[in-house]
Chains A and B, each alone.
Chain A
Amino acid sequence: MEIPLSCYLVLSGILFVCGVLGFLIKRNIITIFMSIELMLNGVNLSFVAFAAQWHALSGQVFVFFVMVVAAAEAAVGLAIIIAVYRTRETLNVDRVNLLKL
């Protein structure tokens, strides 16, 4: 039993669209950050699916690099969130509308 590549791509597209929707409608800065991670995961799935179709292992290496960069980004992003919370006392992005303190 074989599964068409399109199914994997549609699943990856659904995950990406959910991430975009969360980025648009969520107000909590941490949840917005999690939506970005969801988008990265959706892209990773399409990377692995294409790697399986074209028998190219470099697709999986790319997923590895995406994960490394996402981990670094999560560490820095969450540190920025902590710094913002320390000065603004809020996590709502509508209340964080000035770069200046």
Chain B
Amino acid sequence: MFHLILFLFFGAICVAGAVNLLVQSHPINSALSLIAVMASLAAEYLLLGAEFVAAVQVIVYAGAVMVLFVITIMLLNAGAEERTKGSRVAILIGVPGVTIGGVLVAWTLLYRSNTRAVPIGALKGDPSDIARLLFHQFLLPFEVTSVLILIAIMGAVVLASRPEAVARGPRKDG
């Protein structure tokens, strides 16, 4: 019962934050509601027993990625978004289509699937178990992601620096 209450509480925060992200017009409000969504998703991961994933969710997503977003919003001095024409068609077609699709998926999952119930802490997501899997079975993907991160860092530095600074190349001081 306690488990159900926790699930519903954090699920409600998740959905409220996601809807708030849609209705807010200023990007900084959307970013803050996205942080609320990610933090309550970390609580849902804890309910599922995924301790390591919950910690990484808070540190990487709610921490690092969202700080990057907020810094970009402040750097570009983004104001409230202006309404332009052309998005009307997207609303007219997209909202009913997405609603129908969502209801269909939810109905299929709730009534036409033979999924079992998930007990609390069903699977021990200990960091040691995750690490054993990560450094034995998934060693190659793990190393490849390090190369990916390196390339992403270089790409971000090149893209975000001023074009004339990239064209001039490294400064030669005598």
Contacts and interface: CB of A to CB of B under 8 A. Distances in A.
B19 A18 contact: yes
Interface of A: 1-11, 13-15, 17-22, 24-28, 30-31, 33-35, 37-38, 41, 44-45, 48-49, 51-53, 55, 57-58, 60-61, 63-65, 67-76, 78-83, 85-86, 91-92, 94-95
A29 to B, nearest CB: 9
Interface in B106-153: 106, 109-110, 113, 115-120, 122-123, 125, 129-130, 133-134, 137-138, 141, 145, 148-149, 152-153
Given A11-B44, A60-B50, A69-B148, 16 more contacts: A9-B109, A13-B102, A14-B106, A20-B98, A28-B81, A41-B38, A44-B41, A45-B45, A48-B44, A48-B50, A51-B48, A67-B60, A73-B152, A74-B69, A81-B72, A91-B76
A75 B64 CA distance: 10
Chain B interface residue bracket vs A: 35 or more
Interface of B: 1-4, 7, 11, 14-15, 18-19, 21-22, 27, 30-31, 34, 37-38, 41, 44-45, 47-50, 52-53, 56-57, 60-61, 64-65, 68-69, 72-73, 75-76, 78, 81-84, 86-87, 90-91, 94-95, 98, 101-102, 105-106, 109-110, 113, 115-120, 122-123, 125, 129-130, 133-134, 137-138, 141, 145, 148-149, 152-153, 155-160, 162
